[in-house]
């Protein structure tokens, strides 16, 4: 097993060297071309005198060289220049670069782009109160309900036209949800006498009418 692994490693190194250098400078390619033109054993009389010589093969191979892109214009440009270079694990490239302008982008310090550094992606900007607090105000509908809301002991009041909603006892299961998802844009006028029992249970489950 060790011998086969070493032989495979040697073959891969030879292939990488062939890709780095032009085809005319590869002795292995010349050897393979010579072996391909040699006739099989016992068939000497079948070979004609006008067959292609190895020198003609060398001259044709020297004309076509492996030319790589000078500047990478796409992802394929990076891939074709990466032969013989170390491979980084998937999604763990050392630098994020712009393929169009060749700028180094914002470095990926986390598995999401700067998640702990961008407060707008962690909490909404409406959660930070910077204005004068008079003691009686309504919370913004865009606020995200947090543990500070739950432990404050203050009823949550949200205004959404034409009605105002006051939540006295909030469940901690609602932490992480927007206050806009709690309220309705228009008060639903329900005739409790005309609705059926099943529809009444639906309204009770939604919290529109009292049980």
Tell me the pLDDT tens digit for each residue of 92-117. Answer: 667 777 888 888 887 666 555 555 55
- State the DSSP string of 116-138: TT-HHHHS-GGGS--S---S---
88 and 135 part of one domain: no
Q: Name the residue range of residue 137's domain.
A: 123-185
Tell me the pLDDT tens digit for each residue of 194-205. Answer: 889 999 999 899
Q: What is the pLDDT of the chain when averaged over all its residues?
A: 71
3-class state of residue 61 by DSSP: helix
117 and 127 part of one domain: no
Is residue 44 in a domain?
Answer: no
Is residue 48 in a domain?
Answer: no
Tell me the pLDDT tens digit for each residue of 162-187. Answer: 788 999 989 999 999 999 999 987 76
pLDDT at 206: 86
| Banded pLDDT at 1 (limits 50, 70, 90) | low
Is residue 61 in a domain?
Answer: no
| Phi, psi (deg, nearest 5) at residue 55 | -65, -35
pLDDT at 174: 93
Q: Flag whether the pTM goes above 0.75.
A: no
């Amino acid at each position: 097993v060790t011998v086969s692994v070493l032989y495979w490693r040697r073959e891969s190194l030879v292939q990488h060297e062939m890709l780095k250098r032009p085809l005319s400078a590869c002795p292995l390619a010349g050897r393979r071309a010579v072996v391909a033109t040699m006739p099989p054993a016992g068939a000497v009389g079948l070979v004609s005198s006008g067959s292609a010589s190895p020198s003609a093969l060398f001259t044709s191979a020297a004309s076509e060289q492996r030319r790589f892109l000078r500047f990478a214009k796409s992802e394929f440009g990076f891939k074709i220049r990466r032969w013989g270079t170390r491979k980084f694990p998937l999604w763990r490239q050392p630098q994020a670069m712009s393929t169009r302008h060749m700028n180094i982008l914002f470095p990926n310090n986390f598995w999401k782009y700067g998640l702990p550094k961008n407060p707008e992606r962690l909490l909404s900007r409406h959660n930070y109160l910077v204005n004068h607090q008079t003691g009686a105000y309504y919370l913004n509908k865009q606020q995200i309900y947090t543990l500070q809301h739950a432990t404050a002991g203050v009823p949550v009041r949200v205004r959404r036209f034409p009605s105002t909603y006051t939540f006295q006892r909030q469940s901690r299961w609602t932490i992480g949800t927007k206050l806009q998802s709690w309220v309705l844009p228009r008060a639903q006028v329900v005739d409790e006498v005309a609705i059926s029992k099943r529809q009444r249970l639906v309204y009770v489950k939604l919290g529109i009418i009292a049980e």
